[in-house]
Amino acid sequence: MMNSHITASKIDWNPILCRIEYTEGKSLPTYPGDLKTALLNLAKLMNYRKGEQAYQLASEIARLTTYSDPEIVYWFSRLVSLMND
């Protein structure tokens, strides 16, 4: 379990971060399920094109370094924060 806590633009990302765990056979922690759906639902962006675009951009940014689920959550939360300002 990750013990990070991110709150951005009044969204508490901790419920997703708490589910991320190390899995045998994988070197990086992963979210057990559909991370994209979980993030879009939590941000209430499931039916918005910009939500999908934010997720894709977060994934592309994360691909430049670890490309891990915690990093995708981090970048997605930052992008959503910008969208809500």
Per the prediction, the chain carries an average pLDDT of: 88
- Alpha carbons 28 and 6: distance in angstroms, whole number: 19
In a domain, 13, yes or no: yes
Banded pLDDT at 9 (limits 50, 70, 90): low
Kindly list the distances between the CA atom of residue 31 and the CA atoms of 49, 52, 53, in Å, as whole numbers in the listed order.
Answer: 23, 18, 20
Q: Which residues contact 80 (CB under 8 A, 6 or more apart)?
A: 8, 9, 11, 43, 45, 51, 54
Amino acid identity at 71: E
In a domain, 2, yes or no: no
Average pLDDT over residues 14-36: 94
- Residue ranges making up the domain that contains 23: 7-84
Specify the higher pLDDT residue, 82 or 38.
Answer: 38
In a domain, 1, yes or no: no
46-78, pLDDT tens digit by residue? 999 999 999 999 999 999 999 999 999 999 999
Structure tokens at 62: 């994360």
- The total domain count for the chain is 1
